[in-house]
Amino acid sequence: MLGAIIGDIVGSRFEFNNTDNYNFELFTEESTFTDDTICTIAIADAINNGEHYEDTLLKWCRKYPNPKGAYGNSFARWIASDTPQPYNSFGNGSAMRVSPVAWFFDDLYRVKKEAEETAIVTHNHPEGIKGAVAIAHAIYYLRTTKKLSGLENEMQMYYPMFMIGNYYAGVFNETCQGTVPICLKIIISSNSFEDAIRKAISWGGDSDTIGAIVGSMAAAIYEIPKEIVDHVFNLLPIDMLDVIGNFYHNLNNK
């Protein structure tokens, strides 16, 4: 979960102004959280309090209605609706917010089921669901095995559609089909948490979401440097810090 938030914040200033410089400065005054962090916090909050994912997504997104980069048009209409309904999305939003379920639940079947539940409140298209489930599976695999070398085979076995095709740096693609394969490619080639984040952001395209998804997987296999955690905590409001603190307290005391 924390890895997703870090990736989002680091990538936030590059979403519409991409960089291909691997050695970019991690944080500047422009760095802030976006919708990716808000939605990740919402999923964690639902787990903390036994609430429905739809309810906490609506609560948090209405509380923070104007994040940097804004919400997607369809998602914004969903937030504003008096009777919100799934809208058959296959955007990458389902994959970027899913990480808390991969940490909290302790068997793969439950992780995948909860991942589907986080997706279907908005992203009920099969590809939207598949993207969330695949990333949750990857995080669960990495955190339970600590074997990055086995991830490619694991994903190939369960999600072969995400392991084929050619993808080009700098292309802005907000779909699960166009984002999840890139994120898997990046994490498989990484050698540290910071390396994964730098490779994700310097890929270009939808940089904050690629950063969030790669960061969510990187946190499951690598130690996050303390200075990065401290910097990110200083950029988050107290209500989000409370959710994070409660989530990790609950996780460690199950």
Residues flagged as binding site for Mg(2+): 34-36, 206, 208-209
Q: Are 38 and 68 in contact (CB under 8 A)?
A: no
216-232 burial: b if 16+ Cβ within 10 Å, else e: bbbbbbbebeeebeebb
Tokens of 56: 């906490």
Can you list the alpha helix ranges (DSSP code H) found in 107-252? 108-120, 126-145, 151-158, 176-188, 193-203, 207-218, 226-233, 238-252
- Binding-site residues, in ranges, read 34-36, 206, 208-209
Q: Are 7 and 202 in contact (CB under 8 A)?
A: no
Report CA-CA distances (Å) from 115 to 94, 97, 155, 192.
9, 9, 16, 26
Q: Which residues pair with 175 in a beta bridge?
A: 91
Q: Are 169 and 148 in contact (CB under 8 A)?
A: no
